Amino acid sequence: MKKSDGRSTLEEILVEKQELIRDYQTRAEHIDDENVHRMLRHFAEAEAEHAVAIKEALRSM
């Protein structure tokens, strides 16, 4: 993997996190199994927390 600066790396990861959040939320909406639904919603929330931390780091750069 080639080296890149921290800001561009965080920006790329933020986009990936946002996509994961949407994917988990969309899949959760279409799952009949309540346990899987809750798990996917939990994953979306965890990714959202990561995204917030990345946004805060980017603001401080």
- pLDDT computed for residue 3 by the predictor: 74
Contact between residue 40 and residue 21 where contact means Cβ atoms under 8 Å apart:
no
Q: pTM of this prediction?
A: 0.86
Structural domain boundaries of the chain? 16-59
Separation CA 47–CA 50 (nearest Å)? 5
Q: pLDDT higher for 37 or 4?
A: 37
19-29 burial, b if ≥16 CB within 10 A, otherwise e? ebbeebbeebe
Q: Are 61 and 5 in contact (CB under 8 A)?
A: no
Where does the pLDDT of residue 1 fall: very low under 50, low under 70, confident under 90, or very high at 90 and above?
low
Name, in order, each residue with C-beta under 8 angstroms of 44's C-beta and a sequence gap of 6 or more: 20, 21, 24, 25, 28
Percent of the chain exceeding pLDDT 70 equals 97
